[in-house]
Structure 1
Amino acid sequence: MVSNLGSAAVPPGYLSNQYSYDEMLGKDGHLRPHWDAFFKSLNQLGSGELQNRNSEISRLLKENGVTYNIYGNSKVDNRDWNMDAVPFLISKEEWEITEAALIQRASLFNLLLQDIYGEQQLIKKGIIPLELVYNHTGFLRQCAGIKLPGKHSLVLYSADMARSPDGKLWIISDRTQAPSGSGYALENRTVMTRVLPELFNGLKVRHLSPYFDTMSNSLNELGARHHQNPRIVILTPGPGNETYFEHSYLSSNLGYTLVQGHDLMVKHNFVWLKTLSGLEKVDVIIRRVDDIYCDPLELKPDSQLGVAGLLQVIRSGNVSIANPPGSSILENPGLMPFLQNVSKYFFGTSLLMPTIASWWCGQPKEMKYVLNNIQSLVIKRIYRGINKSTSVDGGSLSAAKLNELKQQIIKHPFLFVGQEKINLSSTPSLVNGKMEPHKTIFRSFLVSNGDSYTAMAGGLSRTSSDALNFIVSNQSGGQSKDTWIISPEPVQSIILPKKFTEKAAVASNGGVLPSNTAENLFWVGRYTERLLGNARFHRTVIQTIAEGNRLMMEADVQAEQVLLKALTHYTSTYPGFIDEEDKDNEEKLKQPWPEIRDILFNETRAGSLKYDFVLFIRAVHAVRDHWSTDTWRVLRGMEEAWSTIKDPATTGHLKMQHILDSLVTSVVAFIGLNRESISREQGWLMLDMGRKMEQCLLLTSMLRATLVIKNDDLVDYKLQEAVLVSNECLVNFRYKYRSLIQLPLVLNLMIFDPNNPRALLYQLDRLKKSLANLPKTTETTLAAHDLFIIEAYQLIHSASKEKLSLPDEAAGQYLNLDAFLSDMYDILSGIQNAVSKTYFVHAQSQKQLFTTDTPEGDFFE
């Protein structure tokens, strides 16, 4: 391939033979001007360094926890987000045309939405067929008459575009229900500027921040009619949703509270957020839940994702929503053949950007054309299925399947649309160190801005999984690209506020925590300590067995067996090593490694370390918007480490110790990073309280499992030493007492020492402070958890190390210690249950202290 003199060279071996438009090369085979400037910067890196940077992109995305969930995949819950190091470039001249066309289209769809749920003049005048609207599952009769305040009902809009062989951009689909991808586009840009800043040299790439600034301003203005500092929330279906990463990412970046349906409730014709402090009125909802699931009272009765009564609040104008339920009717591909006439009706002009050629089969002439040319068309239903494709390439079907499809079209013609196949344009992609042409689709995003719309100066581009693949889809394994709009003139990167006011600068969430999020953070704290405690005790048991096997002393054997039984009690992995009815239990105690491996690595066994790890990761992902970037690196490192354990059945004790050492280090790092990065508000309160609660319960369980039975002195010595080692207190003991290990001193250090961070009294003091900072539900009486904490203090102050260390020789046990630990465990469990009943009940609110500026008379009359 020959290149221009003085220009960058065309990548070696790059050749697009798909008879489609090539984004990089002109008709003369030379690099287009904007690509020429890009490759001049790229070539300065060299192929080796470029490959290194590409690997760094993958590493950074993985460490940042960027995922795209795959529905129906039993093996992989979260797929790592893939991004190509080579961006998708659009020239300034082309973008100006495209931007104007997108703004026109967003404005058109806004008017179309308002007409469909309003006067329906388009149907009455025959501009769009009524069958096309009323047979679409996205048309919700319950939403008739709903209109947001201001000019636009359609607040957010996105469009997928592809280039035809003649080089013109076409719109191939519209996204109006809950447009996704803007968060991924922002993450792509963030990674590119960090990993490949050199590539921006010589190219004035437009910033993405004005789009998000406009979104923030528009949503604030939308909620300003309700509240001077409106509360804005993002309503997500939850961690199982395919784009949940984006929901939490936007929540963190925009400062909006991430909520699920059960975090909200309707009361007195307002939407309220259930928080630890009481009910907080919601002014604006950014909806990421599909239309039909939004309101189980009026739409889908079995939905657990929405808010009962939400539609009535929207009708009343007491909450604004982006986008309103019913917006998915606009994603109907059957509307495409009629959009030109719709545009002429509203604007008196044609569309600035063409739409892919489409034939709705509800018209006899068009149905005949589709049936006669079905093998050269893509056939779509007018509505999308749930988690499955509703389009098919007619040319890929067998004769039998083709005939079956024809019969479906003839039987229900108004449900089908035929669309021409587009030979998508190709753009350079870096694959295994070499540039290859891959098919490309570009998605842009728009947000309401006063009387018009603002388009993101960039977007989310996606390429096919390989050079010969014509399917471009995240589900099929395609890659994403950062999208650069080239602008020779400098542009403003942010939109500055007109006037600073301290009140307006306060985040709309105000540090208030939804009760469901509070519960998840509480359990993250508990699972963190459970994982850490179990890992340390497993490690102690494994070290004791490994060292004892070398010495072969009777005391070692007895200590090992007690520790193995204690491990079963401590982890609740019954029957484990205490199955008295199992004839092979004695052999299991003599050869404990298979059972130890099982309670380490068996993910399906309740109480195993891997089981606890899975619970920990799930809880962490449920509140992923609370973790810093460094914290995510630690978490992804933990997940990677566990995923690399190939054959647990053959893992030796040294490898097990190494795995446990690594896990302990990672969990401690996770705890430390949270101490440094989480604001000392309600989120930290719940996380820390969960940790303190679990530490108390674990210590009580460990002491009861190891020290209650009276053994030979040497065996008891080894067990007491194991307790100190497991709790990282052996050095503390030696420094404090400078004495041989003995039970009274061990109990004093682990139960009564107010300065030992691992002691029960120390943890109770911290737990008491956390409980005291919880919002009060009554002004007159003590809460249930306060009564339990008082009882815990009475119990611990009435005990002493001498009394607890007194053995009952007849019973062969320390009965006082056993009774003390048993009573303490019951009290701690009572505290946990009381907190859960008071603060984590999501179905119905408790008596709350309202913290809203709305006068009480406005909604209690």
Structure 2
Amino acid sequence: MPSQLLAALAALTPQDLLRRRGAVAQLVQDDGIAVGPDGPDGPHPLRLDPLPLVIPAADWALLEAALAQRAELLDLLLADIYGERRLIDGGVLPAEIIIGHPQFVAQADGISTRHRLLLTATDLGRDEAGEWRLLADRTQAPVGAGYAMATRRVTARALAAVHRETDLRRLREFFDAMRIALQESASETSDLAHVAILTDPEGGETGFDEALTATLLGFPIVHAEDLSLDGGRAWLRTTDRPEPIDVIVRRVNGGRADPLDLTGGPGGGVPGLVEATRRGIVTVVNPIGAGVLENPALAAYLPAISRALLDQDPLLPAARTWWCGDAESLRYVGAHLEDLQLAPISPAPDNPRVFVAGLTAAERAELWTRVQAQPWAWAASEVLPPWMNDVVTPDGLSPRASVLRTFTVAGSGSPVVLPGGLARLATEAGDRRVPGLRDAIAKDVWVVGEGPGPRASGATPAEPMITGSHGRVASVPLPPRAADDLYWFGRYAERAESTARLIMVADDLVEDHVRRPGTPGYEAMQVLLDAIDGVTVVHRDRPSRRDAAPRQQADRPSAPLAHLHTLTFDGARSGTVRYSARRAARAAGQVRQVLSLDTWIVLSRLERTLTTPIDPSEQLQSVLARTIESFLALSGIAAEGMIRDASWAFFDAGRRVERAQETVRLLRHALGEPHARRVDTLVLDAVLRSRESLISHRRRVAERHPADTRLAIALDLLLTDASNPRALTYQLTQLVADVGTVKTPVREALSAATTVLDGGDIVALARDRDRLTAWLRDLESSVRAVSKALDTTTLRHRSPGLAFEEPR
């Protein structure tokens, strides 16, 4: 470690480090860096230590060469496994290790994989002498490079001065090399290679990694339902027209990649994909069946494999390993069981690697019985001492067991290794096992000393430009899945903001009138609370205000305020502000690659606002004001930062549909029944305030003919006034602009809604509340029909378990 960097890090006091740890946690939240799918309490933020893991340039140069060699070796090995199998025929590699592995895909036999193992990840530790040792290869669908970039961005800000003054290898070049290698891997089907990243529709542990990687590469994320094979090509379904796909970056299990040829279960697969790769119609990266290389038993034979395929010894040694399917090795393992680590040849969360020394006598006996029953399914390796690195704790620096994951992109040229990687550390001081990223502490990895590093083959090629008919750069196609997520991002953001505005107005009424039963203000408060219940479908546990029963517990002064707190903070109940905000963030997380990075700062601030506890007796105004400010910020980011392409159109369409439905629903529930004049006035003013239209209404009342009632003027302002951005007609007009070019049923639904709106005589309806209520109900149904038409013709079809929309 260079003395300058060492001195800079050593100069950080324990208080400095703790402050930076807090800053890192805040930045992780602001950037939305999450691991795994959302849980009951929302996304699980990455735990990141502020101190980087520093690797000197000379040390890294040796490791870089070893990793490049390993990438070449694994590519040759995969080609032999699915090709000539000279290693098996020559006795270098036992057939059982390959044929018996769950990730060996027999249907892929004979498909050329040479130079197609583009992406590899390698988990590393250090031995007692400080030498690098191989722990595991990741070839199925290597993940983590996106997290490595995310941790660099956070650590660079938390240690801004140190980062700025340190000569570090940068990470961006690796992603440039990956993009070029992926495009160069395409078959000769088109002049410009089209690449898509295929992910699991059920989500998983690495959604953030996939989204950030897609952002850095500029390729769309797709699900199997977005892809099809037709006419000798692979196609991506979009909201406009099918787009050809030449390369699929596979982030789903190989056994599930093709439900037609494989038997790995439903989900994530494209029917006919195996045959398409065989015919060269599409390139799959990494190849289907590449997961067989993750077999830990291969380490026992890799020195011989390396000499056979490369005529070289491996530059990166592994821990000494024995395959239990070999009789002599099995006897050795049995005699030294307590000193070894045992691993199934296909480790899984429910069947992990085991440190035998940590087992009881009964557990060891049970494990050994399992090994003897299926010896070919097990491997054993020597136990390396844990590689220790410090993490920041409230009690000072504490050493923890560590693993470094590195990343390599290969292809037909020289492999390129990410200069650094992602370090994982145990959370407990005495734990020698390093868990997965969700349960670990992560570190950024700094490789000190700029160097040219290996490059992809030759000079970086000029990037082709995709142009439209007028010479402009064409927009990126939008799969229905992404359109669906953007649409619901818009809808849930608008729903949460609308509910927050309603609660803010109701909170004012509660504050002024809750202790004055029998007054017009108290009655207006009850009317508005009932209307909010009708709009949000979050009902109070109380008798109707129209019931003549004696006053109940829920009608006491504190009950309305408690209900408003529930409407604001209860994240488990559909219709609340927090629930809708969380669903908006969840939808946004699915399309991170098309949204501004500033989006996550706002969503993080919003989450903190809605999860910071306040006493139920406290006023909600400050919380609601900050909540509304966050949604205004989101609207501003979208308005000023999103290109006016399909991404913007579907986000805006979601907002327009939701605003239209919420407005009509509120009018029906709040104004459908007549009340005493003073009550009607208070309720109407509250509705107008919640729709940001009270000032305009007062001006219109002052300017209009006395025969026009206040209600008629309000209905005109909120429904038919094309100059009011909160009016229904404005939403329908914008919807035509957003999605008017999509399929006929959507255009027909928009036309039908406009017809219902135009057919209403506002002045006459304002004088007949029963007719008004019936008309508003028809109007609401016609607006819902627009959403239904979009869902059935343009957006992704979701199973009930994945549906975003909450019935109201």
Asked if Structure 1 and Structure 2 have the same fold, meaning a TM-score greater than 0.5 normalized by the shorter chain, the answer is yes
CA distance in 2, matches of 1:842, 1:823: 26
CA distance in 2, matches of 1:507, 1:315: 36
Q: Corresponding residue for 2:524?
A: 559
Distance 1:161 1:40, change over 3 A: same
Spell out the pairing of 1:377-392 with structure 2 (5 A cutoff): 377-385=340-348, 387-392=349-354
The correspondence for 1:431, drawn from 393, 402, 424, is 393
Structure 1 residue 153 corresponds to structure 2 residue 116: yes
Q: Does 1:63 align with 2:30?
A: yes
For 1:716-727, list aligned pairs within 5 A: 716-727=680-691
Question: Is contact 1:203–1:488 with CA below 8 Å preserved after alignment?
Answer: no
How far apart are 1:138 and its partner, in Å?
Answer: 0.8
Correspondence for 2:321 among 322, 334, 358: 358
The reply on whether 1:87 has 2:42 as its aligned counterpart is no
What SS does structure 2 have at the residue aligned with 1:307?
Answer: coil
Aligned position for 2:659: 695
Q: Specify the SS of the correspondent of 2:435.
A: coil
Secondary structure of 2:342 counterpart: strand
Q: Distance in 1 between matches of 2:776 and 2:167?
A: 68
1:264 pairs with 2:264: no
User: Residue 389 of structure 2: SS of its match in structure 1?
Assistant: strand
Classify 1:431/1:721 alpha carbon distance in 2 versus 1 (closer, same or farther; 3 Å): same
Q: Which residue of 2 aligns with 1:799?
A: 760
Give CA-to-partner distance per residue, 1:660-695, whole Å, 9 cap, x none: 332222222222211122111001100101111111
Q: Distance in 1 between matches of 2:626 and 2:543?
A: 29
Deviations 1:20-49 (A, max 9, x none): xxxxxxxxxxxxxx2533222224555544
Quote the residue 1:742 is aligned against. Answer: 710
Choose 736-745 or 35-44, whichever is displaced more.
736-745
SS at match of 2:301: helix
Which residue in the other structure is 1:18 paired with? none
Q: Which of 435, 440, 447 is the equivalent residue of 1:485?
A: 447
| Partner Cα separation in structure 1 for residue 574 and residue 650 of structure 2 | 25
- Cα distance change, pair 496–696 in 1 and its aligned pair in 2 (3 A): farther
Structure 2 residue ranges without an equivalent (≥5):
800-808
Distance 1:40 1:509, change over 3 A: farther
Letter paired with 1:791: A
Q: Is the 8 A contact 1:565 1:577 kept in 2?
A: no
Superposed CA offset, 1:99-131 (max 9, x none)? 222122111111111111111111111111111
CA gap 1:202/1:531 in 2 versus in 1, 3 angstroms: closer
Q: Helix, strand or coil: the match of 2:793?
A: helix
Aligned partner (choices 407, 414, 419) of residue 445 of structure 1: 407
Superposed, 1:229-628 pairs within 5 Å as: 229-238=192-201, 240-300=203-263, 302-385=265-348, 387-432=349-394, 434-475=396-437, 477-487=439-449, 497-499=460-462, 502-503=465-466, 510-552=475-517, 554-573=519-538, 587=552, 590-591=555-556, 592-593=559-560, 594-628=562-596
| AA partner of residue 834 (structure 1) | A
The Cα shift of 1:346 comes to: 1.2
Distance 1:815 1:240 in 2: 48
Give the structure 2 partner of residue 10 of structure 1.
Answer: none
C-alpha distance in structure 1 between counterparts of 2:251 and 2:78, whole Å: 18
Aligned residues: 789
Query: After superposition, what is the alpha-carbon deviation per residue over 1:531-569, rounded to whole angstroms, capped at 9, x for unaligned?
Result: 111222222223212211355552223222322322222
Residues 595-744 of structure 1 correspond to what in structure 2 (within 5 A)?
595-645=563-613, 651-652=616-617, 654-738=618-702, 742-744=710-712
Residues 42/606 of structure 1: CA separation in 2 closer, same or farther (3 Å cut): closer
- Aligned partner of 1:788: which letter? A
- AA aligned to 1:114 is A
**Equivalent runs, 1:55-134 vs 2, <5 Å:** 55-69=22-36, 78-134=43-99
What letter matches 1:314 in structure 2? Answer: T
CA distance in 1, matches of 2:570, 2:288: 44
Letter paired with 2:525: E
Per the alignment, do residues 831 and 77 of structure 1 end up closer, same or farther by CA in structure 2, a change over 3 Å counting?
A: closer
Answering whether residue 745 of structure 2 is matched by residue 784 of structure 1, we say yes
Partner Cα separation in structure 2 for residue 769 and residue 588 of structure 1: 50
SS in 2 for 1:286: strand
Whether contact under 8 Å (1:359, 1:419) holds in the other structure is yes
RMSD: 2.9
Contact 1:229–1:508 (CA under 8 A) maintained in structure 2 = no
Shift of 1:311: 1.2
Moved more, 523-532 or 474-483: 474-483
> Counterpart of 1:141?
106
2:583 maps to amino acid: L
Other-structure match for 2:20 = 53
Distance 1:573 1:433, change over 3 A: closer
Q: Deviations over 1:174-206 (max 9, x none)?
A: 111111111111122222333324324664322
Question: CA 1:499 to 1:296, structure 2 compared with 1: closer, same or farther past 3 Å?
Answer: closer
Q: Structure 1: which 5+ runs fail to align?
A: 1-33, 778-782, 808-813, 845-861
CA change 1:601–1:490 in 2 (3 A) is closer
Partners of 1:295 and 1:365 lie apart in 2 by 39
Distance 1:585 1:363, change over 3 A: farther
Alignment partners' CA distance in 2, 1:131 and 1:175: 20
Match status 1:763 vs 2:731: yes
Task: Check conservation: 1:209, 1:493, Cα contact below 8 A.
Answer: no
Contact 1:161-1:441 at 8 Å conserved across structures: yes
Letter in 2 for 1:348: D
2:217 and 2:266 map into 1 onto residues whose CA distance is 28
Offset, 1:586: 5.8
Measured against aligned partners, the alpha-carbon deviations of 1:423-447 in whole angstroms (never above 9, x if no partner) come to 1332343333733333322221111
Which one-letter code corresponds to 1:141 in the other structure?
Answer: A
More displaced stretch, 789-798 vs 705-714 = 789-798
Q: Is the 8 A contact 2:66 2:316 kept in 1?
A: yes
1:150-189 pair list within 5 angstroms: 151-189=114-152
Alignment CA distance shift 1:719-1:496 (3 Å): farther
Q: Secondary structure at the match of 1:359?
A: strand
Shift of 1:154: 1.0
Shift of 1:334: 0.8
Give the drift of 1:518. 0.6
Q: CA deviation at 1:529?
A: 1.5
Partners of 2:111 and 2:280 in 1: CA distance: 9
Give 1:797 deviation, angstroms: 2.9
Structure-2 separation of matches of 1:184 and 1:520? 22
The equivalent residue for 1:817 is 772
Q: Is the 8 A contact 2:235 2:245 kept in 1?
A: yes
Cα distance change, pair 675–496 in 1 and its aligned pair in 2 (3 A): farther
User: Secondary structure at 1:278's aligned position in 2?
Assistant: coil
Compare 336-345 and 834-843 and name the one that shifted more. Answer: 834-843
Q: Is the 8 A contact 1:238 1:622 kept in 2?
A: no
Contact 1:256–1:509 (8 Å) recurs in 2: no
Query: Equivalent residue of 2:44, what SS?
Result: strand
Sort the Cα spacing of 1:301 and 1:98 in 2 relative to 1 into closer, same or farther, 3 A. closer
Tell me what 2:806 maps to: none
1:853 aligned partner: none
What CA deviation, in whole Å up to 9, does each residue of 1:557-604 have, x standing for no partner?
322232232222222235866769999796367334354444444444
